[in-house]
Amino acid sequence: MMKIAPSILSADFSKLGEDIREVEAGGADYIHVDVMDGHFVPNITLGPPIVKAIRPITGLPLDVHLMISEPAKYVDAFADAGADYITVHVEADPHIHRTIQLIKNRGVKAGVVLNPGTASELFKPLIADIDMVLLMTVNPGFGGQAFIPSVVTKIKEIRKWADELNPALEIEVDGGINPETIAVCAEAGADVFVAGSAIYNQSDRKKAIEDLKAAASV
């Protein structure tokens, strides 16, 4: 089952609640929350208080993407705030296996994120232990960047491993997803699609979500 996860990074933070309700009514499956610390990535966004504030306004799972150094330190805070998924970058954590256990022990679904320049082999030992892998299709830090096509090879590779080792694994892609690039990623085996600007920069968000879904299912 293919899923769309609008990224609130491209929403209007002065009316965040409204912008979340709109995509929920428009057929979104998850709400993607981009957490940046100005250290692991060159941008600062939001933290646990915002996650806590949006938790009661949507019934959709909150997919919290941590682009922060030392993510293990903040797992409890994001779990307490109401995250349903917490995804951590392999590049940010030398003890990623331990951090995954920490997330799972909190009853939260755990995911591992790979930057475009990181080899998929790094994640292979973790594949049976996690709920999601998130492949960055841009270098993390900002919305509205161009899709990096070389990541498609990694999607195919990971889909193959997942089919053998963890068929329930969700393969999510994030960055530069639009009706053209979503089709390529779906074909390669991704099943959860983050989209920020392709949804929030459109006046009709419901139509934007429908267009993405239609493009992914051909």
| Active site (catalytic) residues | 34, 174
Q: Does 174 bind Zn ion (CB under 5 A)?
A: yes
**Residue 172 CB, nearest approach to Zn ion (Å):** 9
Q: Does 179 bind ligand DX5 (CB under 6 A)?
A: no
CB nearer to ligand DX5: give 64 or 177. 177
Q: Which amino acid is at 71?
A: P
Question: Is the C-alpha dihedral spanning 1, 195, 73, 158 positive or negative?
Answer: positive
Q: Which of residues 134-173 bind Zn ion (CB under 5 A)?
A: none
82 is in an annotated binding site: no
Q: Which run of H or E residues covers position 111?
A: strand 109-114
Identify what 71 binds: Zn ion, ligand DX5, none; CB under 5 to 8 Å per kind: none
CB 193, CB 5: distance < 8 Å: yes
CA distance 127 to 41: 25
34 is in an annotated binding site: yes
Could you tell me the two tokens for 78? Answer: 């994001």
Q: Which of residues 57-76 bind ligand DX5 (CB under 6 A)?
A: 65
**Residue 140 CB, nearest approach to ligand DX5 (Å):** 4
The CA–CA distances, whole Å, from 32 to 5, 39, 122 equal 5, 20, 24
CB 61, CB 87: distance < 8 Å: no
Pick the binder of Zn ion from 19, 22, 29, 34 (CB under 5 A).
34
47 is in an annotated binding site: no
- Spatial CA neighbour of 54 closest among 26, 76, 34, 74: 34
Pick the binder of ligand DX5 from 10, 87, 99, 115 (CB under 6 A).
10
Q: Does 194 bind ligand DX5 (CB under 6 A)?
A: yes
- Spatial CA neighbour of 137 closest among 88, 177, 86, 192: 177
List residues forming the annotated binding site for substrate: 7, 65, 141-144, 174-176, 196-197
Summarize as ranges the residues that interact with ligand DX5 (CB under 6 A). 7, 9-10, 32, 34, 65, 138, 140-145, 174-177, 194-198
